[in-house]
Amino acid sequence: MIGEFNVYGVFVPSLMVWTAIAVALTAVLRIGLRSLGAYRAVWHPALFDLALFVIVLGGVITLAASWIPL
């Protein structure tokens, strides 16, 4: 995995990019789960959202590490 991205001469940390992608994916998943009514079975929705974000971020980083050659 590369350490940073060059965006028009500004170096952006790769973790910031992966986090932005994970936030977008988590937002889509939250909307889907709310429309399905899955939050009725969740004890603490904020904690569930945090755990969902951490899982999605781990998946994004894992996929990025496997797709980007060293």
Q: How many domains does the chain have?
A: 1
Domain of 11, in residue numbers: 4-67
pLDDT score at 26: 98
Please list the pLDDT of the chain residue by residue as tens digits (70 residues).
467 888 898 999 989 999 999 999 999 999 999 999 999 999 999 999 999 999 999 999 999 988 876 5
DSSP 16-66: HHHHHHHHHHHHHHHHHHHHHTGGGG-S-HHHHHHHHHHHHHHHHHHHHHH
pLDDT score at 42: 94
